[in-house]
Amino acid sequence: MFLAASGVALVISLATLILLGGESGSARAEANAVTFPPIEEFEHYTTVERGASTEHMMTSREALAALKAGTSVPVGTHMVLVDYREGKVFRYFVSQKIGDGADEWAFQWFHPDRSIKVDENTARCFSCHRSRADSQFMFTLPEAQAFGS
């Protein structure tokens, strides 16, 4: 009887641990609001060669128009870095505007099959991109603004 009860208690505390683990990892991939973008509809506005990577930067036409006009991109906007290695998609880096505030951006790493890389600490993406808070969290804002002109 006692053993059974402590077994239950153990199961409950394990479940609590797992739940708490999920909570404290809210900056991590699995608890994140970023959705996979509709890249088939996006414009490829610039390419960056970085070592073995060929990075195609993509976003929506609406976002490009807003960037050109110097206004905030619409809430929900995705920025995409498609990382190609040896001609094949190696991964997708995605940022998404998730609210009206200037720093309301979230980040995600997707595998080629578009599943989330669950062990990625996306807080790292955010902290580096935050240095571009005055440029809508983008490193390639000038290229996006120059696209098509």
Q: Which residues bind ligand HEC (CB under 6 A)?
A: 48, 50, 55, 57, 79-81, 93-95, 107-109, 120, 122, 124-125, 128-129, 138-140
Question: Are 108 and 122 spatial neighbours (Cβ–Cβ below 8 Å)?
Answer: yes
Nearer to ligand HEC, 9 or 44 (CB): 44
Task: Kindly state the tokens that stand for 128.
Answer: 């580096």
In whole angstroms, the minimum distance from the beta carbon of 124 to ligand HEC comes to 5
Those residues with Cβ within 8 angstroms of residue 41's Cβ, 6 or more apart along the chain or in another chain: 60
In whole angstroms, the minimum distance from the beta carbon of 130 to ligand HEC comes to 10
In whole angstroms, the minimum distance from the beta carbon of 50 to ligand HEC comes to 4
Question: Are 95 and 105 spatial neighbours (Cβ–Cβ below 8 Å)?
Answer: yes
In whole angstroms, the minimum distance from the beta carbon of 127 to ligand HEC comes to 7
Nearer to ligand HEC, 2 or 63 (CB): 63
Nearer to ligand HEC, 20 or 30 (CB): 30
Give the span between the Cα atoms of 59 and 38, in whole angstroms.
Answer: 9
| Cα angle 112-99-97, degrees, rounded to a multiple of 5 | 30
